[in-house]
């Protein structure tokens, strides 16, 4: 039936009714909070392009993770490392005493209930800032796989709960799965950055991780933002190689991809609400142009509505704190 018999506004007339029929809700279990860790003690370097985020030494990172759990109940984090020294291949990240393995062990010793997702890539660890070994002016796919696999095993041995390769090399999920299984980590899941686009939204992250490429760009290995069908091929390949979860990155301009991946494969889908998306909200809020907390909630809700089961976001902590302060269920 149609109007006037049907009046859709009947189910919007009070907060109680709206809450009752709400289709999509974001809660703390959906969220992963990213952090940047670097060597030293008592270091807290503000990231200018990402207000409220910091490069933290391990001692302060442990305190921050404790605070995250105690105040918000968020118990999932993603770690990125900034090494003391870099090399040509990223092998520095494969060492037992590399910065992220050290951080994982320290966090697990003090906050053992926290689930740690360890990003696997070489861009933070190479002198040239690319995601693998350079041969003839470009990243060599197959030689990079060995470094990624070795890095993954080191992270798993240090206590990482989930391995998350973000490099976009062909075949890296299979190489990592084989290496993990051969070293006794057959139960360690892989969260693959399966549809990672060569995006302009990564700028603030590259400041934070000190990982900007020193020449060229990453368009020969990250995806063309114009392509959607190709994303499904990337996801299918990663699933065939052993990925347990797949990711779409960035998130806001790629909600169609999130929806297509979820609808096509019906596997756990992760959306990465990336640094540039975060920083645009912060910049607009600083100018008084938006209601910041309202917009953050709307963004996260829209990503979940699009099909994301898990959201990596720099807004995670502040979102939950804001909801708790308002007395909302989260």
Residues designated as active site: 196, 249
CA 163 to each of CA 68, 118, 229: distance values in angstroms, whole numbers, following the listed order = 21, 5, 26
Helix pair 255-265, 229-241: axis angle to 10 deg: 50
Burial of 254 (0-12, 13-18, 19+ CB in 10 A): buried
Pairwise CA distance, residues 311 & 32, whole Å = 6
Q: For strands 138-139 and 134-135, give the pairing.
A: antiparallel
Cα(155)–Cα(152) distance, rounded to whole angstroms? Answer: 5
Rounded CA separation 214/79 (Å)? 23
- Residue 97: count other Cβ atoms within 10 Å of its Cβ: 11
CA-nearest of 36, 33, 183, 189 to 103 is 36
């Amino acid at each position: 039936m149609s109007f006037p018999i049907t009046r859709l506004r009947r189910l919007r007339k009070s907060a109680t009714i709206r809450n009752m029929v709400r289709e999509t809700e974001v809660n703390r279990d959906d969220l992963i909070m990213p952090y940047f860790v670097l060597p030293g003690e008592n270091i807290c370097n503000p990231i200018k392009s990402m207000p409220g985020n910091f490069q933290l030494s391990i001692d302060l990172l442990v305190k921050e993770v404790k605070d995250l759990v105690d105040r918000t109940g968020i118990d999932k984090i993603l770690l990125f490392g900034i090494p003391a020294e870099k090399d040509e291949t990223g092998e520095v990240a494969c060492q037992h005493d590399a910065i992220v393995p050290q951080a994982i062990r320290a966090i697990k010793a003090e906050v053992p209930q926290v689930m740690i997702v360890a990003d696997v890539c070489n861009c933070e660890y190479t002198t040239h800032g690319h995601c693998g070994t350079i041969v003839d002016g470009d990243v060599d796919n197959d030689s990079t796989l060995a470094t990624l696999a070795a890095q993954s095993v080191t992270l798993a041995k240090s206590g990482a709960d989930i391995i998350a390769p973000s490099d976009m090399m062909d075949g890296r999920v299979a190489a990592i799965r084989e290496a993990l299984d051969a070293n006794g980590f057959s139960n360690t899941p892989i969260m693959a950055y399966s549809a990672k686009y060569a995006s302009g939204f990564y700028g603030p992250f590259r400041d934070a991780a000190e990982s900007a490429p020193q020449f060229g760009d990453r368009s020969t290995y990250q995806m063309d933002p114009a392509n959607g069908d190709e994303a499904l091929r990337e996801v299918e390949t990663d699933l065939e190689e052993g990925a347990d979860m797949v990711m779409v990155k960035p998130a806001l301009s790629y909600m169609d991809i999130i929806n297509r991946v979820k609808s096509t494969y019906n596997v756990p889908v992760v959306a990465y609400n990336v640094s540039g998306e975060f920083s645009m909200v912060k910049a607009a809020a600083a100018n008084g142009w938006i209601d910041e907390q309202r917009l953050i909630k709307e963004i996260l809700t829209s990503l979940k509505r699009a099909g994301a089961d898990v959201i990596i976001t720099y807004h995670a902590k502040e979102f939950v704190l804001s909801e708790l302060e308002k007395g909302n269920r989260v």
